[in-house]
Amino acid sequence: MSDYETKDNTGALFNNDAYKKTDKHPDYTGNAVINGKKLSIGAWVNEAKSGKKYMSLKFSEFKPQENSVNTSTTTAPDFEESVPF
């Protein structure tokens, strides 16, 4: 991970070709910090009837990606309390 910190009211988008499986998946993904709140961004490249290209954006609450390894912090139940003898 880099030590780069996104400044307020800025963000970045990155090409999403490696993960785009359908047209519903965004062409670009990234994140931004708006008024101190970190948001995720999805962007789709569209074409208007006039032929001009534009980007459609969707902002959502930022959720850190989870590792595929189980990082659960739950502990095993305390069997001492549940055993009746």
Q: Model confidence over 22-79: pLDDT tens digits?
A: 999 999 999 999 999 999 999 999 999 999 999 999 999 999 877 755 555 555 555 5
- The C-alpha atoms of residue 58 and residue 60 are separated, in whole angstroms, by 7
Assigned domain for 16 exists: yes
Number of domains into which the chain is organized: 1
- What beta strand segments (E) does the chain contain? 10-15, 28-34, 37-47, 53-61
Domain with 45, as residue range(s), is 1-62
pLDDT at 76: 53
pLDDT at 6: 85
Two structure tokens written together for 12: 């970045």
Which residues partner with 14 through β-bridges?
A: 29
Q: What is the mean pLDDT of residues 4-10?
A: 88
pLDDT at 63: 92
Assigned domain for 80 exists: no
Confidence (pTM): 0.70
